[in-house]
Amino acid sequence: MSSTVVPTERHDSPDENIRHREKGNRSFLGLKIVSTVAALIPVLALLAIVAVLLSESLPAIKLNGISFFTKFAWRPGGTYSLPTKTDGILHPVGSSFGIWPLLAGTLESSGIALLIAVPVSIGAALAVVKKLPKGLSTGVGFFLEILTGIPSVVYGLWGVMTLGPTLSRDVFPLIAKHAPSGFGFNFFKGNVGHGEGLITSGIILAIMVIPIISATTRDLLKQVPTLTEEGGMAIGMTDWETTKKITLPWVSKGVIGACILGLARALGETMAVAMVSGSVLGTIPSNLYSTFTTIAATIVSQLDSALTDGTGFYVKTLAETALVLMVITLLTNVAARLLVKRVSSSGLPVGRGV
């Protein structure tokens, strides 16, 4: 370091030295202004996003009304016949939109993802921190990084080409056959499909959120003070009892926060789900294997056809859909951040998980 702090120019008279410093401070003022502007950009971007979504979706919000959240229909309407006007808003004949099936699909697939990812992530983090030698745990870190780094289209490609077909051929029929019948279990029975559907999406989403939950839990576990754990050992607990009764409760709040961050990621995931969900609009999944769609997947797969709607009403409805998605993920993220509060040692915003 010391070699770098020596100024390159020498100033013999103190006057000159002061002048040099003032010149530096002037350029520094410039930097301050520029960096203030840069720091304001996320705020401006947020405002812009909200403004664009609101102004674009306003007609749709008006026309779709409150039934947007209760209806099961997703009908863009006829684009070949002349559009009609309702309440002064132009829209295709017979168009009718309800976000409920998309919302249900989003919540169900993310719920399945969390059910799988939470125990797996916490278990893996425990093994890494408490049991593995240091060299090996760096190796596991590498796998976690690979999992975060793989683009979501590649997850989708793998899911739709290998995972889905394999599971629907070898695993799903077994589950469907042996699941007990009765209330609640019928969800596990029925047609197992061809691999594109709710459970496949849930599994893919689980794999995508595992690195988020696992890495955060691992970093949290490392911060647990040793003395408290030693106390447990000293009164004769086994290492597992110490972990269960002392270590895990110590970090529980942060782990819950990490899980909610994972949930936010799963709720907003687009490409992978668009590829493995089967993209069926307007129906709620009837069993674990049936095709469905989520809010994010609908926006990406429908914007193309929405552009053919001459009245622009479909695009505006998608804006409303995007607004709903944004509100949901925002609430989840805020909840998670209140719980986690700067625990990630990597110091990154953990939102997107990358």
Partner 1 sequence: MSELPNNPSSPQSQSDADRLNFETLSKLVEVQGIKSNTTRGFKARIAWSLSYLTLLLVITPAVLIVGHVVLQALPHFQFSVLTSNTTGLGGGLKNEIAGTLVIVLGVLVIAGGLGILSGIYLSNYAKNKFGNFLRSSSEVLAGIPSIVFGYVGYIALVVHFHWGFSLGAGLITLSLMVVPYVSKTTEVALRQVPSGYSEGGEALGLSEGYILRRITLKSALPGVVTGIIVAVAIATGETAPLLYTAGYSQNLPKLAVTHSPLGYLTYAVWTFYNQPSKAAVQLSYDAAFLLIVGVVLLIVISRIVVSASQKHSENR
How many residues in the chain? 354
Closest distance to partner 1 from the beta carbon of 181 (Å): 29
Between 81 and 238, whose beta carbon lies closer to partner 1? 238
- Residues in contact with partner 1, counted by CB under 8 A, come to a total of 126
> Minimum distance between the CB of residue 149 and partner 1, rounded to whole angstroms?
4
Q: How far is CA 203 from CA 118, 154, 188, 258, in A?
A: 12, 14, 15, 18
Min dist. Cβ of residue 16 to partner 1 (A): 11
Nearer Cβ to partner 1, position 33 or 82? 33
H helical segments located in 127-225 = 134-149, 152-158, 164-166, 172-178, 198-222
Binding mask 290-329 for partner 1 (x = CB under 8 A): ------x--xx--x-----------x--xx--x--xx--x
From the list 68-76, 218-226, 249-257, 281-289, the region that binds partner 1 by CB under 8 A is 218-226
Please report how close the Cβ of residue 98 comes to partner 1 at its closest, in angstroms.
19
- Shortest distance, CB of residue 342 to partner 1, whole angstroms? 9
Closest by CA to 322, choosing from 45, 12, 54, is 54
- As a whole number of Å, the CA-based R_g of the chain is 27
Place of tokens 């959240």: 69
**CA 330 to CA 185: how far, in whole Å?**
33
CA–CA separation, 101 and 336 (whole Å): 26
Q: Does 281 bind partner 1 (CB under 8 A)?
A: no
Buried b (16+ CB within 10 A) or exposed e, 234-252: eeebeeeebbeebbbebbe
Binding residues among 21-50 for partner 1 as defined by CB under 8 A = 21-25, 27-28, 31-32, 34-43, 45-46, 48-49
Q: Distance between CA 162 and CA 207 in Å, rounded?
A: 15
The yes or no reply on residue 334 touching partner 1 (CB under 8 A) is yes
- Of residues 41 through 100, those in contact with partner 1 by CB under 8 A are 41-43, 45-46, 48-49, 52-53, 56
Query: By CB under 8 A, which span of 62-70, 82-90, 169-177, 229-237 interacts with partner 1?
Result: 229-237
Residue (279 or 287) nearer to partner 1, CB: 279
